[in-house]
Amino acid sequence: MAKRARRASVAEERAARERRSGLFKIAGVAVAVAAVGVLYYSVMSGRKALDPETLCPAEPTSMTVLLVDVTDPLNPAQRQDFMNQLAGLKNSIPRYGQLTVAKVDATSDKLLAPVIVRCNPGTAADANSATGDPGKLQKQWEEGFSRPLDAAFEQLSKASGAETSPILESIQSVNLTELQKPATRDKPKRLIIVSDLLQNTAEASFYGALPTPETFLASPAFQKARTDLRGVELELWMLQRPDGAATQPRALPDLWDAAISKQGGFVKRVYNVSG
């Protein structure tokens, strides 16, 4: 009788251990499934649906506008430095950040249309075999982002031969159409102006006698073309002219700094393109 009781007790303990083991296995599977789910969610939530042409998500993470005013032919040194700076700009765009390229032009009839708009989709460094295809991502960056921009940069380096340079009006245009859209309100915003910085329109010309900041900021031309540059970080890449000693004095970038500051912007960098 005692032996039968002991055998029953041993059987019950064995059954209990098997039940506990089964529960632990089920719990382990549940944890593994949950971990896979979390990984999948994190991977998929990190990906964004991109426009097939621009590679931009619905809301880019940053906005950069390159505004180019190449009126006269660039000499070899200028062209090389210009292309070097453009390559650095392209590589500085963060993943899912947007780069819009535009040319200085008249805006009396309509605002400027971009030459090209592209977003950085990421490179191979942004993916691995567990979370994506590095090779595919790198190919997308090269074919959809880098090469189209290089082609646009090549065209922009050629002289336009334009008789006017409505720089101030073009700044107003790209600010309104690109940098001050509601979707960009809380995003980092940067405007890079490539020009000899010689505003030249019927309303305001910096050729001849350069106006003082006080005179220019009080002028009807400035009042008409001013725009809200608050939250925008600016860079001025100044192209030197052959007659630059006379037409591009130190007071010229200072005048632009005053005009941009008056509109709420901040000039982070003034760069004299070599040559």
What string of DSSP letters covers the chain?
Answer: -HHHHHHHHHHHHHHHHHHHHHHHHHHHHHHHHHHHHHHHHHHHHH-----TTT---SS-S-EEEEEE---SPPPHHHHHHHHHHHHHHHHHSPTT-EEEEEE----SSSPPPPSEEEE----GGG--TTTS-HHHHHHHIIIIIIHHHHHHHHHHTS----S-B-HHHHHHHHIIIIISSGGGTTS-EEEEEEE----BSSS-B-SSSPPPHHHHHTSHHHHHH----TTEEEEEEEEPPTTHHHHS-THHHHHHHHHHHHTT-EEEEEEEE--
Residues 151 and 205 in one domain: yes
Residues 71 and 185 in one domain: yes
CATH number of the structural domain spanning residue 258:
3.40.50
**Domains in the chain: how many in total?**
2
**Contact status, residue 234 vs residue 193, Cβ threshold 8 Å:** yes
Residues 23 and 125 in one domain: no
Residues 57 and 75 in one domain: yes
Structure tokens at 166: 């409505």
pTM for the whole structure: 0.82
| Four-CA torsion 169, 171, 176, 178, nearest 10 degrees | 140
Residues 128 and 29 in one domain: no
Amino acid 9: pLDDT? 62
Residues 19 and 144 in one domain: no
Which residue is it, tokens 């994190």?
Answer: 42
Residues 33 and 137 in one domain: no
Residues 42 and 160 in one domain: no
Per residue of the chain (275 residues), give pLDDT as tens: 555 555 556 556 666 666 666 544 544 434 343 333 333 333 333 468 999 999 999 999 999 999 999 988 999 999 999 999 999 999 999 999 999 999 999 998 999 999 999 999 999 999 876 667 999 999 999 999 999 999 999 999 998 888 899 999 999 999 999 999 888 889 999 999 999 999 999 999 999 889 999 999 999 999 999 999 999 999 999 999 989 889 999 999 999 999 999 999 999 999 999 98
Q: From the CA atom positions of the chain, what is the Rg in Å?
A: 30
Note down the domain range covering 92: 50-273
Amino acid 43: pLDDT? 38
Residues 174 and 235 in one domain: yes
Residues 145 and 219 in one domain: yes
> What residues contact residue 7 under an 8 Å CB cut-off, 6+ apart?
none
Residues 262 and 192 in one domain: yes
- Give the number of other Cβ atoms within 10 Å of residue 204's Cβ: 19
Residues 181 and 233 in one domain: yes
Amino acid 37: pLDDT? 38
Amino acid 143: pLDDT? 98
